[in-house]
Each structure stands twice: as C-alpha cells, then as structure tokens.
Amino acid sequence: MDAALDEFAAHLSQIERASEHTQRAYLSDLRQLAEFLAGRGAVLDGATRDDLRAFLASRTGANAPATLARKQAALRAFYEHRVRRGHLQDSPARRLAFPRRRTSLPNVVAVDDCFGLIDAPNARILLGVRDRCAIELLYGAGLRISELVGLNVVDLRDDVLRVLGKGRKERIVPIIAKARTALNAWLARRDELKPRSDALFVNRHGGRLTARTIARHLSRYALIAGMRRHVHPHALRHSFATHLLDMGADLRGIQELLGHASLSTTKKYTHVSSERLVQV
C-alpha cells in the first residue's frame, strides 16, 4: 500500500501539480479506504466497485456531501492512475455515481465589518502592522489564504502582486492604495522579526506565517471589532468579489482578479447580490 500511495503522491505533486491541501486530503482519503478494506480482507489494488460503494456508504453519516464528493474524486483519480501505470486493467471507481451536493451561497462580510476588521490590529505594535497588512491583502486583493502565506518579498512588483494560485498558476493582482500603504508599513519593519527566509509574512520566530495562525488571529480581530460571528479568511475573498459586483464591476473582470478557471465559479456571486438586493 505504501508504495502505491507514494507513487500516487508523486503523480499528484509532479504531474497534476495539485495543491498541498489536495494532496493531503486525497492521501488521507486513500489511507482511510485502505483501513476499511483491511477489515474486509481486501487491499487497494484488489478492491471492487462494491467495496468502494460500501466504503462511501460507511462515511455517509460522518461526512458532508462535499467531503464525500472529494473522497470519490480521490478514489477515481487513484484508480485511473493505477490503470495508466499498468497495475490494473480497469478502474473499480469508473462508474461510481457522484453524491448530490447542496449549493450554498458564499459567506459574505458587510463592508463596514470589513473596515472594522482592518482597523482592529494595533498599528502601534509590530505584529499589529503585519496583521493589518495581511487583512488588507485578503480583502483588498481577494487572495486565497494559501496565496497570502505563499507570498515572498521578491514577488512584489510596483502596484501589483504576482501570486501562485491553484494548480500553481501564476496571476497578477493589482494592489489598491490602502493595501500598498499597509504593505509599505510592514516591509519597513519586517526585518525586526529576523526572517529566516524570503517569506513576506513571518511569525515572531522569523518563520513563514501559516494559514492556521492567520485564521486564528482573524477570529480574534473579529471579536475586537465587535462582530458576533466567526470570520474565516476565505470570507474576505468572497466579500471582495461581492462588493466589487455590488459596485458595478464586470463579472469577467472579477473572474480574472480571483483567478477562477471557469466563469461558472464566479457566477455564484450574482446570486449573493440578488439575495442582498431583495433584503434591501
């Protein structure tokens, strides 16, 4: 099993260029499947379609539809890879039916609350300057949290950022004036944390800041700003897109700013604006 998973992991990383999050999730799903099969006296390469159906059925009560869909995608990708490598003649996951996913509207933060979040960090202390800059880029540039923590100082170009998105696709994102001011303020003090790499955002020990740390700080700043809700970093990206759309921005332009491969992914924000229009 380990050899098969190692080979698949190399395929995801080097050929598919999947994100680290996707790699971890797929491999975790496959190890879960291997454990389930062991209880039935089977192995990964000997699994049948009924085995895979039984595995997904066993997870139905414990996992949301979106998680089940991801597990099925992991199974399909793994067994298709095994067929291509000549280890199997046919994929047992080929004719699995995808579970129906509920469509949900993006979680959007109000404009005033976004401004409150940005003002929450204490600009008189070093870490407050860093955190304000991070929030400015999450909201003002619509970055994914993985794109934010992956930024390096050498990536800066005038009034634009070069970010590495999903599938390691590079895109250029404009920086608004307030984000540029916050970025300059942080760069002027960044060396005080004695960075051990060229990471743009570093922790108090000089290492690259993690997505989990930023999410934890954002929750704390939401409380400081008086918000009665949890704010996830991705909610600021949703808010960036929705607020642009509310102000009359073109959907195609928003797609480019967000780095969506398909316009259908961006179209969900039109439903958010419709909901808000009805409320108003």
CA distances from residue 165 to 20, 144, 162, 268 in whole angstroms, order as listed: 12, 8, 10, 20
Q: Is 26 a catalytic residue?
A: no
CA 103 to chain centre: 18
234 is catalytic: yes
Q: Tokens standing for 75?
A: 């199974």
Catalytic residue among 11, 76, 162, 234: 234
- 8 A C-beta contact, residue 65 and residue 101: yes
> Active-site residue among 70, 180, 260, 276?
260
Q: Which one is catalytic: 81, 217, 237, 238?
A: 237
Note if 217 is an active site residue. Answer: no
Given the residues 166, 171, 268, 276, the one annotated as active site: 166
**271 part of the active site:** no
User: Active site includes 144?
Assistant: yes
The one catalytic residue in 132, 144, 190, 238 is: 144
Known catalytic membership, residue 237: yes
Catalytic residues: 144, 166, 234, 237, 260, 269
